[in-house]
């Protein structure tokens, strides 16, 4: 079987992979929801859904720093990567061990394409189709919910020391647009650092739970920077995880809007 991944790399798969290493947390969750738990042999320390996998599977490092010796020892049939989560060097190193599939997610359609491709690779087309259709139906329903909502200027923070936000060409920015949020830092790079000189006015400031674990005390700290903004803690997984996590995301977004 010839597969073209989302970086337009042609990969050859002789038979359905039976030993999978996933270096992407959201894709690990997707594998589980596709019914592939028994074929997962290696994951990262950030693959926290479902939590029991951290105890039952081999941890091969993080998403940016991996232990190649552990991966090699697992004798995987395929290694799953992502353009943003994993470095080019990691992909090249993993290619010396097994077939590597790389996802590249910027839109909902990219997510659906990846899910359906996994269905083909791992011979779970019906489950992949069901997940894809559920996500698309939830998106369609959410578009009806959001279409009459007044646009809001939003800043989405992902890090502290230095302060960093989500900018252009990110999946987060794409989901902000779906929420009828005008990202005030969309004119900047993907994850720019923000100092006092770079502050933009915002109606709402969202503090993500990941990768930096923002807490309530950070709301007070940022309130001095955004004196007129509504500052909220948000579930970062809903804004940055793709795959089956998106099934839950749009109900979460509805609740978020109701709390604004």
pLDDT digits (tens, 9 = 90+) for 149-192: 999 999 999 999 999 999 999 999 999 999 999 999 999 999 99
pLDDT digits (tens, 9 = 90+) for 52-93: 999 999 999 999 999 999 999 999 999 999 999 999 999 999
SS (H, E, C) 15-63: CCCCCEEECCHHHHHHHHHCCCHHHEEEECCCCCCCCCHHHHCEECECC
> Architecture of 2-138 per CATH?
3-Layer(aba) Sandwich (3.40)
Q: Is the pLDDT of residue 197 over 90?
A: no
pLDDT digits (tens, 9 = 90+) for 115-153: 999 999 999 999 999 999 999 999 999 999 999 999 999
Those residues with Cβ within 8 angstroms of residue 124's Cβ, 6 or more apart along the chain or in another chain: 34, 35, 36, 118
- Write out the residue limits of the CATH 3.40.50.1980 domain(s) in the chain: 2-138, 149-258
Q: Give the whole-angstrom CA distance, residue 144 versus residue 160.
A: 35
Rounded to 5 degrees, φ, ψ at 42 are -140, 140
Q: Is the pLDDT of residue 196 over 90?
A: no
What global pTM score does this model have? Answer: 0.95
> Architecture of 149-258 per CATH?
3-Layer(aba) Sandwich (3.40)
């Amino acid at each position: 079987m010839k597969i073209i991944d989302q970086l337009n790399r042609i990969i050859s798969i002789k038979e359905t992979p039976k030993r999978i290493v996933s270096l992407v947390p959201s894709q690990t969750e997707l594998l589980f929801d596709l019914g592939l738990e028994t074929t997962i042999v290696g994951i990262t320390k950030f693959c926290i859904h479902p939590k029991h996998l951290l105890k039952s599977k081999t941890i091969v490092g993080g998403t940016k720093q991996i232990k190649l010796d552990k991966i090699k020892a697992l004798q995987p049939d395929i290694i799953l990567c992502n353009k943003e989560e994993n470095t080019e060097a990691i992909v090249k190193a993993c290619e010396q061990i097994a077939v590597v599939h790389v996802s590249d997610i910027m839109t909902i359609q990219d997510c659906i394409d990846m899910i359906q491709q996994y269905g083909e690779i791992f011979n779970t087309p019906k489950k992949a189709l069901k997940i894809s259709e559920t996500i698309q139906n939830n998106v369609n329903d959410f578009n009806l919910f959001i279409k009459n909502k007044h646009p809001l200027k939003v800043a989405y923070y992902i890090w502290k020391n230095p302060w960093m936000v989500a900018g252009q060409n990110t999946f987060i920015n794409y989901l902000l647009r779906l929420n009828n949020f005008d990202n005030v830092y969309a004119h900047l790079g993907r994850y720019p650092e923000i100092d006092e000189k770079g502050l933009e006015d915002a109606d709402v400031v969202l503090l993500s739970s990941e990768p930096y674990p923002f807490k309530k005390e950070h709301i007070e700290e940022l309130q001095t920077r955004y004196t007129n903004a509504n500052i909220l803690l948000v579930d970062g997984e809903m804004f940055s995880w793709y795959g089956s996590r998106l099934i839950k995301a749009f109900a979460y977004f509805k609740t978020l809007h109701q709390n604004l």
